[in-house]
Amino acid sequence: MSLPPWSKNQYLVVSRIVTEGNHQENVMCEANICYTGSDEGAVPGEKPCTQDDLKVLGPAGGMRCVETPTALKAPPTPAENCEGKFATYADIPGFHDPRIFWSGKGEPLMMVNTQSRYACFGLWIIDLRSLYAPLQKLLTSSPNHPSLGPLKSYQTLTELTRNPPNSRALIEKNWMLFFPSSGDSYVHYDLSNPKGGDHGRTFAKIVGNGFTTPNLTDPLELSCLQDTDSVETDEAKTGGTWHQASNSLSLVLCERKDSDCHPSAENTVFFAVIHRKFPNYLGLPLRYERHFMVWSAVPPFSMLGISQYPVLLANETASGWTASENWDDDPNNAAAVYENRMRKNATEPYGGKDFWAYFTYTVSIAYAWGRADKDEAEDKNIGFLDDEVILGIGVDDKGQGFAKVRAGDVVQCLRVCPGRAAEKTG
């Protein structure tokens, strides 16, 4: 997530690292993005890459920790119901799948997946200032609004719940929070299942200390997700399942530079990344297709749209198809393939670009550093169409990267959701 403009560094990054033995360890650091080439187009305050940066990051530059990452020490939690095939989960120390984001009132929060008081694994949340002391000092040093910083809603690790209790699963994961106002928090549990199932779309309001209301989804809301397997002719596009992936952000549907653009409930939406996950023949991940979903910022927070097609970055590839199929619309690659085949006087080997990675997935989104000087902590969760968004991308479960895209671009080419079913009368 990006830090306020008065911070000496740009980003706060959290990552899970590989350790010896059966142990989950997560580390965090402050980081900066450096750029290569000319200063033209560089964000004010961004730094050119040094030779040392290029040695570590490669010729394209990128994001780099300023200091050695520090381990995040969250207390262990109990596992109340890890039985049967989940019995070994009770003995896995540490937490995993950390996601960090700003709340509507400017709290730096982290949600983690770890052992549950109610089931086997659940979702817990904590204010990062309780784990990383420099954040407390940073949030009390705003040059525009000196204060003690926002009050902590989650000073200690707090488990988020699902109400009623019989709606809880043994393993809960991939929930996300959204904030319609600075004082209200909601947790989004599930997407609607296009093939049916126990859960439709479910979300609830957090009433305090992790407890929530029952499901608040409009009972007449129709599913925005579609089951296309029955009509799909490409086998590589069948068998996918939908999953929530990232945190959410609030988006005002006009440009920051437009003097007539004033945020209101009517021109604001939420968006987040969701995945359609496809397995290989062993049932392991083959491909995570990235989609953006958009929903209303006013009750009943109806689903509005979803990316009509999977969203690939310019240099990203998709497993399930060959390298040549991935790059068949790239004219530079076509020229390289032709030259290679002419030189070898053969039609094979392919001779073009290879796969960028076996699979990639997007677990976090944040508005990029470098916005207006008066960008306070409570503003970090809301942006405009001309703001840039940072996508945090996992690579093959062992590496990570990022991408910058305009917020307006991620909400283009949406398929409109069907809305509400007709109410029965009589």
Residues 117-137 have pLDDT tens digits of 988 999 999 999 999 999 999
Taking only the tens place, the pLDDT of each residue in 323-349 is 888 888 888 877 777 666 555 554 444
Q: pLDDT at position 350, please?
A: 56
CA-to-CA dists, residue 105 to 79, 101, 128, 271, 380, angstroms: 32, 11, 14, 18, 9
Q: Token digits for 149?
A: 């910083």
C-alpha span between 100 and 79 (Å, rounded): 23
Q: Quickly count: other Cβ atoms within 10 Å of residue 195's Cβ.
A: 10
Q: Which residues of the chain have pLDDT under 70?
A: 18, 21-23, 40-42, 194-199, 338-351, 424-426
Q: What is d(CA 279, CA 239) in angstroms, rounded to the nearest whole number?
A: 8
- Token pair of 335 as six digits: 């020229």
Q: What pLDDT, on the 0 to 100 scale, is given for residue 425?
A: 63
d(CA 223, CA 60) in angstroms, rounded, equals 42
CA separation for the pair 371, 383 (Å, rounded)? 10
Give the Å distances, CA to CA, from 7 to 86, 376, 408. Answer: 43, 11, 27
- For 267, 325, 352, 357, the CA distances from 334, given in Å and listed in that order, are 43, 11, 7, 20
Residue with tokens 């899970």: 16
Q: What is the pLDDT at residue 341?
A: 59
Per-residue pLDDT tens over the stretch 348-407? 445 678 888 888 999 999 999 988 777 899 999 999 999 999 999 998 878 889 999 999
Tokens, residue 170:
């043994």
Residue 328 CA, distance from chain mean position? 29
DSSP string, 82-135: --GGGGGGGG--S-EEEEEEE-TTS-EEEEEEEE-SSSSEEEEEEEGGGT-THH
224 Rama sector, left if φ>0, alpha if ψ -120 to 50, beta otherwise: alpha
∠ Cα 5 388 126 (to 5°): 60
Bridge-based pairing of strands 241-252 and 211-212 is: unpaired
Query: What is residue 21's predicted lDDT score, i.e. its pLDDT?
Result: 64
